[in-house]
A and B are shown apart, each in its own frame.
Chain A
């Protein structure tokens, strides 16, 4: 009964989505206000039915209804309750439903928080979101229905992949999807503005908070995925340049470019066409990501067992979205007036330079990710692109991003003076060079060239932002005004500051980890001890242990710094009952400045094991950086001006002060 209810709700949602994508749009083109006014109720209705459908699937998992194929394949009676819920999005069908549910939620929030927008704009935006929803719901109902039944039902389910039975991974996909789907709002705003032929500062201001929220979600989602891979895959890597990771990184980089370009469009009215292109790009890359994950065309650690018809459907959908929106762009964009003028030395120019660098990076990641497909299509053989290439490309581009970031933040809109910039930045520049020279000393760098480069770049970002902060607060009359500025008036500025400090923290983490990590794979018998990175590790052997749905061998490793015991680690090798799959559970002693990471390899003769003993300096800074970026994004959208902007409709672009 429940599965049928869920299925039926899904079909009703599709019906509403079809109407939502046509009626309000037609109304906005013919000026029929009644038709336009249907957009909001339709969006709420669609969200309601998607919520019912999703709740049904959760209920199926909680009650172990294995007559549903999807539940039988991904759950098990022994599975702890929390993971029964997260198993809902543990594989293809359910994660699509989650995706559609989020899309409905985003559309409903757009409907709810757009009271002050022109009704035609709302109608068009929701219509575009309706179209996206039609695509996903059709895809789900035609190729991957999560409510399909099986008869006779199996006595027990096949279990959720043990790797996914983890709190980090339970929330990683929802975060990621919130981000992916959130970009569809930015996309819908852009398309709606193109249809209306009115790309102006007001449009950018409406778009900005939505895009930033989506971006913050995606940031957290990617960081969680990376953190999960680090502790759960058992070999201590945090980024593998795997096609699926790249699939989430590309929309993120394009989205980063988009939020900066939107800033220019809002403040100065410039870059309008470019912003629209970026919105289309970010969303298309999100779709491409789905295609890569779902179609199984690339060898990836994430690929689900696959079905070619799914790939074809997504590819067709991708073609319609990209082709359609680019055609619309080609048709309407020339009519868009070119906006605010600016000179070569101006904040606009530095933002543009950073935008181009970010897009270059996106293009490189795309090239590396798709190269195997291109080679195969051209009959050049089956290849894979090694991660050294990606690392090289990343290192070739990011230093320039960091450099322009520091200049951009202190530069002025529209027109600035090179000499003034040099004057303002000379202290930051001097100190960064100092960091470069000091860390160049063999004591600090150990002869590794990237250490001084990375640390100097991080210092440069930090110091130039401090300069900007100083310049900002210098003219405040009294501490009270400073505090007011800090607390309320310009949250978006402080959000930006925080996010950029995240970039600096990320660079520090990346540099230190890549330069000073120590990884040792070795054979240890009980009682053996070994010295790694100045610490002594004593292996005391393993003992059997039991969990709710697995049995395990639990090792005991004591870690000493000199004579002092720092910690005791208990890495596990688990065997899950339902799937008989083995899994490595690493033991980590985490710290701000270093992680100690121990995981069990394989059992050898006489109680000996092969062990991984890793020393990971500053690894936390990588995720800390991502977290700071996300927090900065969230802080920025609480800025008062977005709230006042939603109350006052159609603020003329010229009324915006020239300085952020």
Chain B
């Protein structure tokens, strides 16, 4: 085979391969991403009812309760505007605690409780997940603007 046609074969194979791979990867990605919603957005019914998504905020003081099985905990997270009850069965991370920023991934039940499959708290205590920091800021800004509107 001539060098030129050989190279063409290679290029064609490479482009075809990359195209197929990209299409498959992106299709798969669509079904594997989970969106993030703040408690305010969840309360405003912006979050999907039938899909896995993430919700985050600060764990409210005194809201952590343990069920009798010893493994299920229920607590509420807040963006300082609204709160969402989260139920999680399993062992919570070491840094989980009242006042900590956490992100939970799971589904919203019809009872309005968020059933988490995974709860993340950060390693570094001075570190807050960017999503949580953002939603706290947003909630605060809306608070301020509603005060202004009220006057």
What residues of chain A have their CB less than 8 Å away from a CB belonging to chain B?
161, 163, 234-235, 296-299, 301-306, 341, 343-344, 352, 356, 360, 364, 367-368, 371, 375, 381-386, 388-389, 392-393, 396-397, 521-523, 579, 581-584, 601-602, 604, 608, 610, 612
State in angstroms the CA–CA spacing of A381 and B1 once bound together: 51
Q: How many Å from the CB of A404 to the closest CB on chain B?
A: 13
> B35: which A residues are within 8 A, CB to CB?
381-383
Number of interface residues of B (CB under 8 A): 42
Q: Say yes or no: B1 contacts A382, CB within 8 Å.
A: no
Q: How many Å from the CB of B57 to the closest CB on chain A?
A: 13
> B28: which A residues are within 8 A, CB to CB?
389, 392-393
Q: Say yes or no: A368 contacts B29, CB within 8 Å.
A: yes
Known interface pairs A344-B1, A579-B125, A610-B70. Does A234 touch B36 (Cβ–Cβ under 8 Å)? no
**B6, B28, B95, B103: residue with the most chain A Cβ atoms closer than 10 Å:** B28
> B129: which A residues are within 8 A, CB to CB?
299
Q: Say yes or no: B32 contacts A385, CB within 8 Å.
A: yes
State in angstroms the CA–CA spacing of A388 and B21 once bound together: 17
Q: How many Å from the CB of A354 to the closest CB on chain B?
A: 13
Closest 10 CB pairs of A and B: A523-B70, A601-B91, A389-B32, A382-B36, A383-B33, A305-B126, A604-B70, A386-B32, A299-B129, A305-B127
Q: Say yes or no: A384 contacts B34, CB within 8 Å.
A: yes
Q: Say yes or no: B94 contacts A389, CB within 8 Å.
A: no
In the complex, the chain A residue whose C-beta lies closest to that of B127 is A305
Q: Say yes or no: B33 contacts A384, CB within 8 Å.
A: yes
State in angstroms the CA–CA spacing of A298 and B10 once bound together: 37
Q: How many Å from the CB of A450 to the closest CB on chain B?
A: 17
State in angstroms the CA–CA spacing of A582 and B71 once bound together: 19
What residues of chain B have their CB less than 8 Å away from a CB belonging to chain A?
1, 3, 6, 9-10, 14, 17-18, 21, 24-26, 28-29, 32-36, 54, 66, 69-71, 90-92, 94-95, 103, 105, 120, 122-127, 129-131, 134
Q: How many Å from the CB of B15 to the closest CB on chain A?
A: 11
Interface of A is mostly: mixed
Q: How many Å from the CB of A412 to the closest CB on chain B?
A: 17
In the complex, the chain A residue whose C-beta lies closest to that of B129 is A299
A sample of 9 more A-B contacts (CB under 8 A), given A163-B123, A367-B25, is: A299-B103, A299-B129, A303-B127, A304-B124, A383-B33, A384-B33, A389-B33, A396-B24, A523-B71
In the complex, the chain B residue whose C-beta lies closest to that of A580 is B125
> B94: which A residues are within 8 A, CB to CB?
234, 581-584
> B126: which A residues are within 8 A, CB to CB?
305
In the complex, the chain B residue whose C-beta lies closest to that of A523 is B70
* 11 A–B contacts from the bound complex (CB under 8 Å): A163-B123, A298-B130, A341-B3, A344-B6, A375-B33, A386-B34, A386-B105, A389-B28, A389-B33, A396-B24, A601-B92
In the complex, the chain B residue whose C-beta lies closest to that of A375 is B33
State in angstroms the CA–CA spacing of A381 and B95 once bound together: 27
In the complex, the chain B residue whose C-beta lies closest to that of A389 is B32
Q: Say yes or no: B91 contacts A610, CB within 8 Å.
A: yes
State in angstroms the CA–CA spacing of A546 and B127 once bound together: 28
> B26: which A residues are within 8 A, CB to CB?
367
> A382: which B residues are within 8 A, CB to CB?
35-36, 131, 134
In the complex, the chain B residue whose C-beta lies closest to that of A341 is B3
Q: How many Å from the CB of A650 to the closest CB on chain B?
A: 27
In the complex, the chain B residue whose C-beta lies closest to that of A522 is B71
> A235: which B residues are within 8 A, CB to CB?
91
Q: How many Å from the CB of B23 to the closest CB on chain A?
A: 12
> A385: which B residues are within 8 A, CB to CB?
29, 32-33
